[in-house]
């Protein structure tokens, strides 16, 4: 899932996004018979591109069938470019876009992947379509990909981050389920109190995996961009890095409330196994894990799982671009190809796929007005007794939970910045360098990468 969060793309050329359309951002002027698709005029066929695996393809086809029933003059061809692989799908998509092929609706895995292609003029701005429907994008979707004042995507899915907790362990320690506003200092105290046992039978208070998410969660959860400030400079200079690097090391070496990073690497541990086997009482994860507590066949366990919002940075460690405890939210987007000959029909499909209340939907919706409860009930399944449902709903949809707008900074070299972070984090956790020296090295290396790629 986090590969989805960190597929980053270019921030340059933002002034000419969609420029190859000559300013024509609305309707099907190039295909008059299709302009009123969905009415009693000539039937049109549009293509919907994505990277569904076999199971997902069946659900998608069911939703497309529902759309066709409601719009009998629009037929939809489902094109799976590369099954189950969004990275390879984007490569194949770019080839089609560069060839000039007529592209209608595309499912794109991340905000940055949208902006990168929009900046090349490959995507159609949606402004005129929104205006004709009387829609305000910010009132419709959590994240709206934009270049300047032009909108290029509709958020189709949403990925939330949260903390899963062993509620039986919480009760045993006399600890309440945390709620919005708890901090990483609070998390550390919880972890110390949730420690139990010694040696191979020890239950650690927490578990941190090897992804970037666990190297500095504040940068990944309460900042718009995981690697850069909104002015384009590296955020590796941020006070949250120094704070969290030291917190991680202290939890391992002083508190002994987190399994050592060296052990996680050497044993190639699995975060799900660590949690459901009872080897860790807390783990930072996300909404892709909602079905897991009820999946007793794959993850046999006998404790109830509670949920808490991601902890916030304590006073003095807030990120420079901090917006008062709002969270980053990831997810996929639907976009329209600039070469589409049936743009009104394409827009109609995009709205249906992002707003329809369908039993075939398998991920949380990016549409703000959607009712999440039917999907949540399906994800929980029959073993509802394994969940603290109240804490899950409060964590996902509580009145205090707010989400950040889209970042205006995107890069095509995110993998290079991720490597700078991973290399220096490992050097700090496994060596004796001071956190100040490590942070300086990170800033110097990242600044060089940014300068080389933005000349």
For the chain, domain boundaries: 2-158+331-370, 161-326+387-453
3-class DSSP assignment, residue 399: coil
Task: Give the residue-averaged pLDDT of 321-350.
Answer: 95
Q: Is 99 exposed, middle or buried (0-12, 13-18, 19+ CB in 10 A)?
A: exposed
When pLDDT is cut at 50, 70 and 90, the band that residue 41 belongs to is: low
**Cα atoms found within 13 Å of the Cα of residue 141, Cβ hemisphere only:** 29
Residue 36 has pLDDT above 80, yes or no: no
3-class DSSP assignment, residue 44: strand
When pLDDT is cut at 50, 70 and 90, the band that residue 138 belongs to is: very high
Element (H, E) at 336: strand 333-336
- Judged by average pLDDT, the poorest of 25-34, 99-108, 119-128 is 25-34
DSSP string across 406-452: PPS---S-HHHHHHHHHHHHHHHHHS---HHHHHHHHHHHHHHHHHH
> How does pLDDT run across 15-24, given as a tens digit for each residue?
333 333 333 3
Q: Which CATH architecture has domain 2-158+331-370?
A: 3-Layer(aba) Sandwich (3.40)
Task: Give the residue-averaged pLDDT of 138-146.
Answer: 93
Tally Cβ neighbours within 10 Å of residue 3. 14
- Judged by average pLDDT, the poorest of 31-45, 399-413, 415-429, 441-455 is 31-45
Task: Give the residue-averaged pLDDT of 405-425.
Answer: 89
Nearest to 292 by CA among 267, 265, 274: 274
> How does pLDDT run across 67-94, given as a tens digit for each residue?
999 999 999 999 999 999 999 999 999 9
Residue 118 has pLDDT above 60, yes or no: yes
pTM: 0.84
Tokens at 129, concatenated: 């379509």
Residue 201 has pLDDT above 70, yes or no: yes
Q: What angle do CA 89, 364, 143 make, to 5 degrees?
A: 75
Mean pLDDT over the full length of the chain: 90
- Give the E-state strand segments of 58-204 in sequence order: 74-80, 105-108, 146-147, 150-151, 154-155, 161-166
- Judged by average pLDDT, the poorest of 107-116, 207-216, 260-269, 428-437 is 107-116
Share of the chain above pLDDT 90, in %: 83
Classify 161-326+387-453 by CATH class.
alpha beta
Task: Identify how many contiguous H helices and E strands the chain contains and give both numbers.
Answer: 17, 10
> How does pLDDT run across 379-402, given as a tens digit for each residue?
999 999 999 999 999 999 999 999
**Same fold? 2-158+331-370, 161-326+387-453:** yes
Question: Looking at residue 412, what is its pLDDT?
Answer: 74
């Amino acid at each position: 899932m986090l590969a989805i969060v960190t597929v980053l793309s270019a921030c340059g050329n933002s002034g000419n996004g969609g420029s190859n359309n000559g300013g024509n951002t609305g309707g099907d002027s190039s295909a008059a018979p299709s302009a009123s698709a969905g009415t009693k005029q000539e039937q049109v066929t549009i293509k919907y591109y994505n990277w569904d695996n076999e199971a997902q393809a069946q659900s998608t086809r069911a939703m497309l069938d529902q759309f066709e029933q409601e719009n009998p003059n629009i037929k939809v061809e489902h094109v799976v470019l590369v099954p189950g692989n969004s990275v390879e799908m984007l490569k194949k998509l770019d080839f089609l876009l560069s060839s000039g092929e007529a592209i209608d609706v595309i499912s794109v895995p991340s905000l940055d992947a949208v902006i990168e292609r929009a900046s090349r003029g490959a995507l159609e701005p949606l402004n005129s379509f929104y205006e004709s429907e009387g829609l305000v994008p910010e009132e419709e979707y959590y994240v709206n990909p934009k270049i300047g004042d032009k909108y290029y995507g509709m958020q189709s899915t949403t990925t939330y981050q949260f903390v899963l907790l062993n509620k039986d362990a919480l009760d045993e320690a006399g600890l309440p389920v945390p709620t919005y506003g708890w901090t990483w200092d609070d998390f550390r105290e919880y972890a110390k109190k949730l420690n139990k046992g010694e040696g191979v039978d020890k239950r650690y208070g927490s578990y941190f995996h090897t992804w970037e998410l666990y190297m500095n969660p504040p940068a990944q959860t309460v900042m718009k961009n995981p690697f850069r400030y909104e002015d384009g400079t590296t955020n590796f200079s941020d006070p949250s890095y120094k704070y969290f690097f030291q917190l991680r090391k202290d939890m391992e070496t002083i508190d002994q409330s987190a399994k050592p990073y060296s052990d996680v690497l050497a044993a190639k541990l699995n975060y799900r196994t660590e949690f459901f086997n009872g080897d860790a009482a807390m783990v930072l994860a996300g909404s892709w894990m909602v079905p897991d507590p009820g999946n007793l066949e794959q993850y046999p366990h006998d404790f109830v799982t509670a949920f808490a919002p991601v902890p916030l940075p304590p006073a003095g460690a807030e990120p420079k671009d901090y917006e008062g405890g709002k969270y980053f939210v990831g997810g996929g987007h639907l976009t329209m190809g600039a070469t589409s000959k049936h743009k009104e029909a394409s827009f109609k499909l995009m709205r249906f796929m992002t707003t329809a209340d369908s039993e075939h939907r398998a991920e949380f919706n990016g549409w703000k007005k959607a009712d999440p409860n039917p999907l949540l009930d399906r994800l929980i399944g029959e073993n509802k007794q394994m969940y603290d449902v109240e804490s899950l709903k409060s964590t996902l949809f509580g009145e205090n939970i707010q989400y950040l707008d889209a970042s205006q900074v995107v890069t095509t070299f995110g993998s290079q910045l991720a490597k700078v972070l991973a290399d220096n984090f490992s050097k700090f956790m496994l060596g004796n360098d001071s956190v100040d020296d490590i942070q300086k090295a990170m800033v110097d290396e990242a600044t060089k990468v940014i300068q080389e790629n933005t000349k």
